[in-house]
Structure 1
Amino acid sequence: MRGFSSIAMLAAGSLAAAADSSSAATPSCADGLYMVVARGSLEPPGPGSAGVVTAQVQKKIPGSVVASVDYPATLDDYENSETDGVTAIHGLLDAYGKACPSSLMAIIGYSQGAQIGMDAVCGGIGGFFTSQAPVSSAILDNIVAVNVFGDPTHIPNLPYDVGTSVKKGIFQRNSTANCLKSKDKIISFCDTGDIYCDGGSNLTTHHIYIDKYGSQMVDFIVDKYNTAKGAASGGSNTTPPSGTGTKPTSGAKPTSTGPAPNAAGPAMMAPPASLLGAAVLVVVTSALSSL
C-alpha cells in the first residue's frame, strides 16, 4: 500500500474506535484535532474505511479525537439517509464548537459521507436532498481541513480538486460560492471512471482512494492543523500543500469497532453491490432524473 503500512491499516479500526467521541453527551475538548468523520454507504457505524486516515492523524497529532457521524448510511433510502447525515454532522460540529470554541476541527467523508461533509461546508444541494445552509462562520473558522473522496457532488477543475477526473459527479451541486470561500481548507479526491464522483463506470476506482492517496490525505490534515496552531500561537509552520497531486487535464454515534482492514488494502466496502452499488443504481438514476 502506498504510504500506509499493513500494520497501520490493521490498527486503524481499534485506534479510531478507542478515541471515538460520543455525540450524545457534551463533548470533551480534544487536546489535539477533533475529527468528524462521515462513513460511506453500508459501512458499519463508526469512521468506516476513513479510520485508516484518522488513525495516522492521531499518531501525528497526539490527543486527537474521532467523532463518527451517526446516520443510516443506507442505499435504498439514500436521499433521506444523506439528509439525516447532514443534520447529524451539523449537530456534532455545533455542539463541539460551542463547548470548545478555541479547539480545531476537521471533516473527513467518503462517498455518501463526502456529500454530507461538503453539504456541511457548502450547503445542501436541494432537490430531493436537503437545502440546509452551511455551518455558521464561527464554526467554519475552527474547521481547518475538509478531506473528502469519491464525492457524488464533485465538480471538476476547482482549486481543491485532486485526481484525474474532469467530469461532474452524479448529483448536481449548482452553486460553488460557499465551497470556494473555504477552498484553502478543502481537498477533494476523484479519479476518472469513478462511478459516482466522475459519472463513470468503474466501481474499483471508487474503492481505492485511501490506497492511492492515503498519505496525502494525512499530510494535508496534519499540515493544516499545524499551520493553524502556529498562526494561533504566533509561530510559523511549513506552508501546507493544498490541491497537490494529480490534477485534471482540463481548465456520531461512535462504536467500539470499525471495519477491519486487511493486508491487501483497507476494507473499503463489502461486495461491489454495496456503496451505491448496482442494486441501488435504479434508485439513484430515478432521483437524478427528477432533480
Structure 2
Amino acid sequence: MPRRFVRTLVIGAVAAAVSGGIAVATTTVSNAAGCPDVDVSFARGTGEPAGLGITGTPFTRALTADLPGKTVSTFAVDYPADVAQAGDGLGATNLSEHVEDVAAKCPETQFVLGGYSQGASVVDIALGIRTALGSGGTIPPALAPRVAAVAVFGNPLRLFRQSIPDASQLYGDKAIDLCNTGDPVCGNGVNIAAHLTYGTDGGATRAARFAADRVGS
C-alpha cells in the first residue's frame, strides 16, 4: 500500500476523533408534485456519524439559500465511512441507486453530488473514476445530463495527481474539486486543520455558489 495512502488513513482517523459526536439531521423539502427541483446527495467523511457531516451540512444549507424559488431535497449517502475505508464501493452503489430511483420518479429533477474526504472517493467511484479504494455502482451515463454539478472537498484522488475536472469526461466541466493548501488527505501536506475546515473557511459556500450557478443552466 503506498505510503501516501497510509497517511490518508491515519489522517482520516484524526478527523474522526476531531469531528466525532456531531449529530446531523437531513431535511427534505419537495414541491407539490412530490418531486424536488434539485436533489443534493452528499457523502460524509471518515468517522463522522450518519448524516451530511461537518462539510455537507454547511454546503447543502448554502446551496439551498443560493437557489431561491426552487425546492431542494437532501440525501445523506449511506455507507460505513470507517477508518478501514473498505466501504466506499457500497457508498457509490447507494449514491448511484438513489440517483437512478429519483430520476425515474422525477423526470424534471436535477442532481448535485458532493462528498468530503473519504466521501469524495465515494463520489469518484459513482462517477466511474477508477480509484485505489475499490469499485461500486456507477451512475448510468444517460443520466449525466441530469447532474448539474459535483462538489468534493479533500479528495484523496488528488494524491494520485488527478481530480474530477481532469479525470471525468462526463462530469469534469461541472465539477469543483477543492483541496486546501497543506491538506494531508488531498495535498500530501501536514496541516490537519486544513482538512477539517472546509465547512467553516468559505470552501463550502464557494462550492455551493459554483453548484447553484450550474443548476438550471
- Structure 1 133/123 Cα, relative in aligned 2: closer, same or farther at 3 Å? farther
Q: Secondary structure at the match of 1:192?
A: coil
Q: 2:152 pairs with 148, 153, 160, which one?
A: 148
- Report the AA paired with residue 43 of structure 1: E
What does residue 209 of structure 2 align with?
219
- Structure 2 counterparts to residues 89-238 of structure 1, below 5 A: 89-125=95-131, 129-130=134-135, 132=136, 134-154=138-158, 169=159, 179-210=168-199, 211-227=201-217
- Structure 1 99/178 Cα, relative in aligned 2: closer, same or farther at 3 Å? farther
- Report the AA paired with residue 113 of structure 1: G
CA RMSD of aligned residues (A): 2.6
CA displacement 1:177-205 (0-9 Å, x = unmatched): 76133222100001232111012222111
Q: Distance in 2 between matches of 1:152 and 1:202?
A: 15
What does residue 26 of structure 2 align with?
17
Asked if 1:69 is matched to 2:74, the reply is no
Q: Secondary structure at the match of 1:17?
A: coil
Structure 1: give runs of 5+ residues left out of the alignment. 1-12, 22-27, 155-168, 228-291
> Are the aligned partners of 1:195 and 1:202 in contact in 2 as well (CA < 8 Å)?
yes
- Structure 1 124/134 Cα, relative in aligned 2: closer, same or farther at 3 Å? farther
> Are the aligned partners of 1:150 and 1:190 in contact in 2 as well (CA < 8 Å)?
yes
- Structure 1 143/65 Cα, relative in aligned 2: closer, same or farther at 3 Å? same
TM-score normalized by the length of structure 2: 0.77
> Are the aligned partners of 1:40 and 1:113 in contact in 2 as well (CA < 8 Å)?
yes
1:59 deviates by: 2.6
Aligned residues: 188
1:212 deviates by: 3.1
- Report the AA paired with residue 18 of structure 1: T
Asked if 1:47 is matched to 2:52, the reply is yes
TM-score normalized by the length of structure 1: 0.58
Q: Secondary structure at the match of 1:217?
A: helix
Q: Distance in 1 between matches of 2:213 and 2:169?
A: 20
Q: Distance in 1 between matches of 2:185 and 2:47?
A: 15
Q: Percent identity?
A: 27
- Structure 1 172/73 Cα, relative in aligned 2: closer, same or farther at 3 Å? farther
Bigger RCO of structures 1 and 2 (CA < 8 A, at least 6 apart): 1
- Structure 1 46/177 Cα, relative in aligned 2: closer, same or farther at 3 Å? same
Q: Secondary structure at the match of 2:156?
A: coil
Instruction: Name the structure where helix makes up a greater proportion of residues.
Output: 2
Structure index of larger Rg: 1
Q: Distance in 2 between matches of 1:172 and 1:39?
A: 22
Q: Secondary structure at the match of 2:215?
A: helix
Q: Distance in 2 between matches of 1:153 and 1:195?
A: 12
1:214 deviates by: 2.6
> Are the aligned partners of 1:192 and 1:200 in contact in 2 as well (CA < 8 Å)?
yes
> Are the aligned partners of 2:44 and 2:118 in contact in 1 as well (CA < 8 Å)?
yes
Following superposition, which runs of at least 4 residues in structure 1 exceed 4 angstroms of deviation? 171-178
